[in-house]
Amino acid sequence: MFRVLHLADLHLGYRPDLPAPVQEEVYRERNGVLQAAVDLALDPRRGINLVLIAGDLFDNHRPQASLVEETIRELGRLEAAGIQVITVPGNHDEITYNDSVYRREASRWPGLLVTEPMPAKVATLKINGDACHLVAMAYTGGVSRVDGPLKNFPPAEGGGVNLAVFHGSLDWDGGERSLPLDGEALSAAGYDYIALGHIHRRGQRQLGRGLACYAGMVAGKGFADPGTGSWTIVTLGDGPARVEQVPAAVRPWRVVDVDVTAFHAPEELEAAIRELIDPGALVQVRLAGTIAFDLDLEGLQARLDHLCSYLDLVNDTEGWAQELLESFAAEPTIRGLFVRRLQAKLAGAAGPGEAAVIRRALWRGLLALKGGCGPCRL
């Protein structure tokens, strides 16, 4: 029996689309994720014998020299401690290019660096006295023969544990560089565990006698790609593969949806949002529904900004409630005149598309009359 730390899609070197200085903070934190993974693997309480990196260790094939040196140093800590490490290139840090980090640093890369362009047995490892047969590949443009989902996999061997590692898409053909993998063929190959990368969310699927698992991306890249926030550890060699998740100390990306329709005053909405914000997170608050009061989005953003690492206040509302618009229209002001004219245009709209444009113009115009929408995204 032995234990594996399954890593994938760390995307070291990724710089998020955030304002300074939080961008630099999150960038540095991401580049520290590998050190945290190595620390976890070296913790004797975890009993890790093997570390698998299933692609996209880096966010591109030419990471900064300092990051490369730091990565080699961290992986070297595993090697020095007798923990075997396997690195499979992905599609972001693709080995195809002549200047790829894996071509430039192959001679001193710690552990086993997979370079075979098609599925092949790359090693038989001895772990706790038992044999571990390893199948893997590194997609290489112009060399890897990918015409639809890959189906030709070496069969599992007897007398040990059979592992496969791929950075690819299981039963989904997203194009050659997504490395589509045929699930039925993998099932027939008879592997005990198939360590996958490329999909950033966790996922497991039984394939014949074995288990295919996406470890997912530990640290998020954005609100639409928030990461898993956990490490994947697998126990092999004593019955079916057993997978456990261990929480990772990474800054979370949170999306909070708030329907403003339920609130009757701006103070009520603000109090509700305050309750929902995670202080240590990067938070996106999406406002939906219709607004029944005069809402100052710029002021709301300013009052809430300090409550978390970063706040993205997104206006997805349908605009103000009809009752409030009627009160605006009754005003003997420029705002009242504006609302009356836009309401007249809305009543004569040629169809849903034109009506949607007019409603958006009404919303933006009312914000402009209040002094603009500030940092809020419309």
Among 158-162, 274-278, 290-294, 300-304, the range scoring the smallest mean pLDDT is 290-294
Six-digit token string for 203:
């996922």
Model confidence at 31, pLDDT cuts 50, 70, 90, reads very high
For residue 372, the model assigns a pLDDT of: 43
For residue 369, the model assigns a pLDDT of: 82
Model confidence at 178, pLDDT cuts 50, 70, 90, reads very high
Model confidence at 293, pLDDT cuts 50, 70, 90, reads confident
For residue 378, the model assigns a pLDDT of: 37
pLDDT digit string (tens) for 74-108? 999 999 999 999 999 999 999 999 999 999 999 99
For residue 159, the model assigns a pLDDT of: 87
pLDDT digit string (tens) for 233-259? 999 988 899 999 999 999 999 999 999
Q: To which residue do tokens 């038989």 refer?
A: 124
**Spelled out in words, what is the top-level CATH class assigned to the domain 252-317?**
alpha beta
Residue 376 has pLDDT above 70, yes or no: no
Is 212 strand, coil or helix?
Answer: strand
For residue 296, the model assigns a pLDDT of: 84
Instruction: Please say whether the structural domain 2-247 has been given the CATH code 3.30.70.240.
Output: no
Model confidence at 297, pLDDT cuts 50, 70, 90, reads confident
Task: For residues 250 and 265, give the distance between their C-alpha atoms in angstroms, rounded to a whole number.
Answer: 36
With b meaning 16 or more CB within 10 Å and e meaning fewer, what string describes 238-265?
Answer: eeebebeeeebebbbbbebebebeebee
Percent of the chain's residues with pLDDT above 90: 84
Average pLDDT, the chain: 94
For residue 303, the model assigns a pLDDT of: 96
For residue 201, the model assigns a pLDDT of: 97
Residue span(s) of the chain under CATH 3.60.21.10 come to 2-247
For residue 16, the model assigns a pLDDT of: 95
Beta-carbon contacts of residue 342 (< 8 Å; ≥ 6 apart)? 358, 361, 362, 365
Beta-carbon contacts of residue 118 (< 8 Å; ≥ 6 apart)? 137, 144, 145, 152
Residue span(s) of the chain under CATH 3.30.110 come to 252-317
Model confidence at 324, pLDDT cuts 50, 70, 90, reads confident
